[in-house]
Amino acid sequence: MLGNTFGRLFRVTTCGESYSGAFRKNSDIPPELWGGLAVIVDGVPAGLKVTSQIIQEELDKRKPGQSRLHTPRTEADKVYIFSGVMQDDRTTGAPVCMLIPSSDIGDYHIEQHKGNKDLLRPGQAAYTYYKKYGEHSDYLGAGRASARETVARVAGGAIAKIILDSMGIDVIAFTIESHGIKAGPFSYETAKQNYRANDINCPDLDIAKHMIDDLLQVKKEGDSCGGAIEIIAKGVPAGLGEPVFDKLSATIAHGIMSIGGVKGIEIGDGFGVTSKKGSECNDTPYYDEETRRIRFKTNRAGGMLGGISNGEEIRIRVAVKPTPTILKDQLTVNVSTLEPVTHKFASRSDPSLVPRIYPICEAMVRMALVDSILMASGSRSITDMDNRWDKL
């Protein structure tokens, strides 16, 4: 397996899966060391204040079991900083390692998974992992394809958040659609104020209620449903992103599309442009006396031109598929006998990914932004280099 690192100069490497620790249960070893998720963040500048409390706050946003909309499964998701932070909680420039031990490694789950080992769960990755890794691929709890993997993304994104906070850049993600019920559009200010005021993170508090009622109904049916998330990055300066293959748009799309369950991404007007004319799409530039820089009268472009940030808000929308695990009879195949089987997979999963996916979207955009900021810090022009050089 490869692909467990994101970023070029801000590099987040993650690992871990739900149940491997079960095979290392041993009374001689503290349970926290049996297994879990780990993250190594390389490229963290020295002098950054990083505490486990700050990281924990982000992790708690995605923690299951917090509302009726979540899986009843409880995971502590407690984070331990293991390296890279020293006196006064300051980073030293060394890689920051964070551990999130798995606290919920019950024999029960293993037995349950083993029992259904040969039945392909529709909509899940077991088949493709088997084709890729063969008989030893992780058949318990989906391995690296488990939603649990995203804990490590959020931990990495929390470090990015601390850097962005120090620069006045804010990234928020919120729900704009659940099972066809749409909300918005929202200004950054409205979204910021309200998006965490309800269990589904929708800034329109009335529509949020509808979404929640509908979702509880879907849950009751044993089904699940999809939705859409909008992400806004506020305060991003112009000039981020590398031309051609590594545009900021491409880097962000890479990160967002790598989240399990995401089936589409749009920037700015997105798929709305397919029916529009150029005269309806171009944003008009003007000189803003107040900020003393070029701004744009509209932001249909979603904050990027030529794939490089233009100083306006970055606006992204993300399509999230329904949780594939549902509590209904489903037709599938037994990979051992090759016979068709109808089975109801008993599993504790969320009826929708939407209420818990926003911190992961925020994390990926934050990592992409910090990485792009560091890329942009290096080498733009020789004048710029000369100025920096003098200080070395």
Subset of residues 198 to 217 that bind a copy of itself, contact rule: CB under 8 A: none
Total residues contacting a copy of itself by CB under 8 A comes to 181
- Least Å distance between CB 355 and a copy of itself? 14
Give the relative orientation of helices 248-257 and 354-378 as an angle to the nearest 10 degrees.
150
> What is the per-residue binding string for a copy of itself in 340-369, x denoting contact by CB under 8 A?
x-----------------------------
Q: Are 307 and 247 in contact (CB under 8 A)?
A: yes
Confirm or reject binding of residue 83 to a copy of itself (CB under 8 A). yes
Among 223, 234, 313, 343, binds a copy of itself (CB under 8 A): 223
Which residues have C-beta within 8 Å of that of residue 362, sequence separation ≥ 6?
157, 161, 171, 172, 173, 231
Confirm or reject binding of residue 56 to a copy of itself (CB under 8 A). no
Confirm or reject binding of residue 382 to a copy of itself (CB under 8 A). yes
68 is in an annotated binding site: yes
Which residues between 249 and 288 bind a copy of itself (CB under 8 A)? 249-258, 260, 262-287
Q: Are 69 and 199 in contact (CB under 8 A)?
A: yes
203 is in an annotated binding site: no
Among 58, 75, 77, 177, binds a copy of itself (CB under 8 A): 177
Among 64, 227, 355, 359, binds a copy of itself (CB under 8 A): 227
Q: How, if at all, do strands 181-182 and 227-234 pair?
A: unpaired
323 is in an annotated binding site: yes
Confirm or reject binding of residue 64 to a copy of itself (CB under 8 A). no
Q: Are 47 and 91 in contact (CB under 8 A)?
A: yes
CA–CA–CA angle 14, 45, 387 (5° rounding): 135
- Least Å distance between CB 22 and a copy of itself? 8
Which residues have C-beta within 8 Å of that of residue 224, sequence separation ≥ 6?
218, 322, 323, 324, 325, 326, 349, 350, 351, 352
Residue 50: Cβ within 10 Å count: 21
> What is the per-residue binding string for a copy of itself in 291-320, x denoting contact by CB under 8 A?
---x------xx-xxxxxxxx-------xx
Listing DSSP states for 324-360 in one string gives: S--SSEEEEEBTTT--EEEEE------S-SHHHHHHH
Which residues between 118 and 157 bind a copy of itself (CB under 8 A)? 120, 122-125, 127-129, 131-138, 140, 142-145, 149
Name the phi and psi angles at 358, rounded to 5: -60, -40
Q: Residues at the annotated binding site?
A: 62, 68, 144-146, 306, 321-325, 348
